[in-house]
Amino acid sequence: DAGVIQSPRHEVTEMGQEVTLRCKPISGHNSLFWYRQTMMRGLELLIYFNNNVPIDDSGMPEDRFSAKMPNASFSTLKIQPSEPRDSAVYFCASSLYRRTPGFEQPQHFGDGTRLSIL
Amino acid sequence: AQTVTQSQPEMSVQEAETVTLSCTYDTSESNYYLFWYKQPPSRQMILVIRQEAYKQQNATENRFSVNFQKAAKSFSLKISDSQLGDTAMYFCALVYVRGFQKLVFGTGTRLLVSP
């Protein structure tokens, strides 16, 4: 089975430009997560979706960040306008969630997008 | 609030030896899961092992095993017969059974396996 697929793998762009990161979760998974990883702050959860609905976006740093999940097989994380401090590795992860005690599936991560804002 | 603490920023071990990575956590929940993820230089996040809090038996996966002490809120990872490919960052993480799966990660331990 294909894992979580993220694109692009690397992105270099100039400050002020719009950046769009893409994610295709594992087929059949109903939860999707966007994380940001930096040396200073480690792994931070930005937002997560369940059944395409955003459940918690409290980790989104500011209004310049937005995320969408138009269907079960695709999600985007957009930064507009981008700033140098947004440089980080962005991970997408997916899992299967069921509201059944004792049932849990771990999150599977994509390979990440390394974003560099000049 | 729940927290996960990894107090060892870096560790070194020689090939074929055993190493233990520490993790402590704080939570008021009684039912949760704990994980160890590995992040090699390729930056993939790879699930190494998981433990259900309601199970007393420690999880094992080949050369990887955990020492889960629920009362002490401790969850250490033991790597036996270390291999060069084990060189990576290791993250401890916690998620509740109740509610959606919001993983809380520790800050990571960088493990270097040398020949």
What is the structure's pLDDT at A98?
A: 75
Q: Please check whether residue B35 is in contact with residue B92, taking contact to mean a CB–CB distance below 8 angstroms.
A: yes
pLDDT of B47 over the 90 cut: yes
Average pLDDT rounded to a whole number, residues B55-76: 94
When pLDDT is cut at 50, 70 and 90, the band that residue B31 belongs to is: confident
Q: Inspect the interface and report whether the beta carbons of A43 and B91 lie closer than 8 Å.
A: yes
Distance of CA A61 to the CA centre of its chain: 13
Instruction: Give pairs for A59-62: CB < 8 Å, separation 24+.
Output: none
When pLDDT is cut at 50, 70 and 90, the band that residue A1 belongs to is: low
When pLDDT is cut at 50, 70 and 90, the band that residue B15 belongs to is: very high
Picking from A31, A50, A109, the nearest residue to B45 by CB comes out as A109
When pLDDT is cut at 50, 70 and 90, the band that residue B101 belongs to is: low
Taking alpha carbons only, the member of A113, A74, A109 closest to residue A93 is A109
pLDDT of B58 over the 60 cut: yes
Q: What is the pLDDT of residues A25-78, one digit of tens each?
A: 999 999 999 999 998 888 999 999 999 999 889 899 889 999 999 999 999 999
Say yes or no: A48 contacts chain B, CB-CB below 8 A: yes
What is the structure's pLDDT at B19?
A: 98
The neighbour count for residue A117, using CB atoms within 10 Å, is 20
Distances from the Cα of A86 to the Cα of A14, A18, A61, B76, angstroms: 11, 12, 10, 33
pLDDT of A94 over the 90 cut: yes
Distances from the Cα of B10 to the Cα of A57, A62, A102, B28, angstroms: 32, 32, 34, 29
Distance from CA of B62 to the nearest CA of A (A): 18
The neighbour count for residue A53, using CB atoms within 10 Å, is 8
Q: Contacts of residue B105 in chain A, CB cutoff 8 Å? A: 42-43
For tokens 């704080």, what's the residue? B26
End-to-end CA distance of chain B: 41
Taking alpha carbons only, the member of A103, A89, A4, A108 closest to residue A40 is A89
Distance of CA A59 to the CA centre of its chain: 11
What is the structure's pLDDT at A108?
A: 92
Distance from CA of B75 to the nearest CA of A (A): 17
Question: Rounded to an integer, what distance in angstroms lies between the CA atom of residue B88 and that of residue B24?
Answer: 20
What is the structure's pLDDT at B42?
A: 87
When pLDDT is cut at 50, 70 and 90, the band that residue B104 belongs to is: confident
